[in-house]
Structure formats: structure tokens, C-alpha cells
Amino acid sequence: MKKLLIFLLIITGTGLHLNAQNPAKMNENNNKLAVIWTSGDPEVAQKVCFMYTLNAKKQGWFDEVVLIVWGPSAKLLAENEDLQADVKKMMEAGVVVEACISCAKMYNVAEDLSDLDIDVRPMGVPLTNYLKEGWHTLNF
């Protein structure tokens, strides 16, 4: 029985790192959060996504917090002044806000988002890097 338990512990301990490309980098990024906001629903934005994202940063639940504006959320944000004010509060608290340029262009709001001091750029590679580096992700 002891041999089986030791064997299982060894296998489990080894298995934790099989998929990690760089375990040290994964540990370093364990305290980082990327929130992917795609919903075009303002209630989801204010009552779920924004509340958690802001508090994740303000309360120190994560050292780094990034909000990624993607898809219908880009249009919603460009049109909704209340949400814009909420995003400004997040940015003032230290949340980094990025937006997908392809999505913003589809909705013709790239300039509007840039005017809000949002980093509007291609997001496929940055999101892929967040995932590969072991950032926690949350989708709304």
C-alpha cells in the first residue's frame, strides 16, 4: 500500500509539469489574470465582469489584471458612457485594458476605443501568450 501511494505521488507530481513549457514562468504568472469580455449585454458587464475585474486588482487577488475587450463588447463600450466611466475606474486602479483591433474595426469603433486610452491592437498572439504563460483566464 505504501509503495502504491508513493508511486501515485511521484506520478501525480511529475504529471503536473508535463504540459508546462516553462514551469518557472508558469509559477511566475500564477498571480496574473486575463479577463476576456465578449458579451454585448451591459448588465453582464456592470454586474459581473467589471465588478470582479476591478476587485481582482483593488483587493490584490491578482498582481496583474488585464481586461480584453473582444467582439460585441467593443461596440457596447464605444456606445455606453456608463461603461466607459467604469473602464476608466478600472484603468485608474491599475487594470490594463486592451481591445481586439479586428473586432473594433468590424464594429467601426477602433478610434472610439483608442480615444478612451485603450490599447487597440491585434489580440490573437497576446491572448495566446497569456494562455501559454499560465495566466488565469476568465470569460464573460
Among 19-28, 49-58, 74-83, the minimum mean pLDDT is found in 19-28
Q: What is the residue whose three cell numbers read 503536473?
A: 16
Contact (Cβ atoms closer than 8 angstroms) between residue 42 and residue 76:
yes
**Residue 12: per-residue pLDDT:** 33
- CA 87 – CA 108 distance, rounded (Å): 19
- Stretch 76-85: mean pLDDT: 98
CATH class, domain 32-139, is alpha beta
3-state SS record for 114-138: HHCCCEEECCHHHHHHHHHCCCEEE
Task: Name the more confident of 26 and 53.
Answer: 53
pLDDT digits (tens, 9 = 90+) for 30-75: 899 999 999 999 999 999 999 999 999 999 999 999 999 999 999 9
**Residue 23: per-residue pLDDT:** 58
pTM above 0.85, yes or no: no
Instruction: pLDDT band for 102, please (50, 70, 90 cuts).
Output: very high
Instruction: pLDDT band for 21, please (50, 70, 90 cuts).
Output: low
Q: Is the pLDDT of residue 133 over 80?
A: yes
Residue 41 sits at the vertex; the CA angle it makes with 57 and 60, to the nearest 5 degrees, is 5
- CA 73 – CA 123 distance, rounded (Å): 14
Mean pLDDT score across all residues of the chain: 87
**Residue 20: per-residue pLDDT:** 47
